[in-house]
Chains A and B, each alone.
Chain A
Amino acid sequence: EAGVVQSPRYKIIEKKQPVAFWCNPISGHNTLYWYRQNLGQGPELLIRYENEEAVDDSQLPKDRFSAERLKGVDSTLKIQPAELGDSAVYLCASSPGGYRDTEAFFGQGTRLTVV
């Protein structure tokens, strides 16, 4: 079974440019998460989806970040415009649903460098 797939693996952009990250969760997983991991830190949740619905986006900086999960499968996270402080690894994770009963499975992440 394929794991969580993210692309691209690496991205370097200039500040003020837009950037987008893509995530394909494990087949059949209804819950999808986007986390941001700063260097030397643990991941922090940005947004959680249950199917197509964003059920927790309280940590998403909505002035420049947006996310979507059309058809309740793949998801895209966008930053526009990017700032130097956005340099981090962006991790996508999925779980079958019923988070109380299962663990989340993570992708390899997208390492973003803003210069």
Chain B
Amino acid sequence: AQKVTQAQTEISVVEKEDVTLDCVYETRDTTYYLFWYKQPPSGELVFLIRRNSFDEQNEISGRYSWNFQKSTSSFNFTITASQVVDSAVYFCALLLYNQGGKLIFGQGTELSVKP
């Protein structure tokens, strides 16, 4: 069975703190994609990153960074020097190569950044 687990339901930090959002996935497929989406209060899901299963290179984009480790089936997301505008619900998702475009989402982590 395929599954994505985001164990942290809610995280609250003070502005400028670093914060890591955890994501653990389950699949027996060898070819898959992993995603992170941000859902602000306005409701739309904003794409942040896509990673395929053969690319374990970590990625940094500004204050955002992602750590992909196949050995632990994890794809964690770190925000450095958090800002109030980072407050949102963040979703990790899995897409299997041979099952069409169906995204399997985790339950989401609600991040609250306080000034």
Contacts and interface: CB of A to CB of B under 8 A. Distances in A.
Contacts, number: 56
Interface string B98-115: 001111011110000000
B73 to A, nearest CB: 17
Contact of A33 (B42, B43, B97, B101): B101
Given A55-B100, A99-B101, A106-B37, 14 more contacts: A35-B103, A42-B105, A48-B100, A91-B45, A95-B101, A99-B100, A103-B35, A104-B47, A104-B103, A105-B47, A106-B46, A107-B44, A108-B44, A111-B43
Question: 7 tightest CB-CB pairs across the interface, nearest first?
Answer: A42-B105, A99-B101, A106-B45, A108-B44, A108-B43, A103-B47, A109-B43
Interface of A: 3-4, 31, 33, 35, 40-45, 48, 55-56, 89, 91, 93, 95, 99-100, 103-109, 111
